[in-house]
């Protein structure tokens, strides 16, 4: 059984789905661009995605969006 996404993962998926780049994600989350980049990379690993587009597809397949 798949794990449910954390609240942070859901927020990141929504921001990526809206087309936000790392700098805009960082502003929305109140973190540095580097931290935002690391969080997006971790999310992509969780979703086993090589691209942001693929992450969106995988998130939709899992019912996250």
pLDDT one-digit tens code per residue, 8-65: 999 999 999 999 999 999 999 999 999 999 999 999 999 999 999 999 999 999 999 8
- Model-level pTM? 0.87
Q: Within a domain: residue 39?
A: yes
Q: Within a domain: residue 65?
A: no
Domain of 56, in residue numbers: 7-60
Query: What is the number of domains present in the chain?
Result: 1
Q: How many CA atoms lie within 13 A of 56 on its CB side?
A: 10
| Nearest-angstrom CA–CA distance, 62 and 42 | 17
CATH number at residue 46: 1.10.10.10
| Nearest-angstrom CA–CA distance, 59 and 30 | 23
């Amino acid at each position: 059984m798949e794990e449910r996404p954390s609240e942070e993962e859901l927020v990141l998926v929504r921001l990526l789905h809206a087309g936000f780049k790392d700098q805009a994600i960082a502003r929305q989350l109140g973190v540095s661009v580097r931290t935002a980049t690391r969080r997006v990379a971790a999310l992509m690993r969780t979703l086993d995605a090589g691209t942001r587009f693929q992450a969106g597809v995988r998130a939709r397949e899992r019912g996250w969006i």
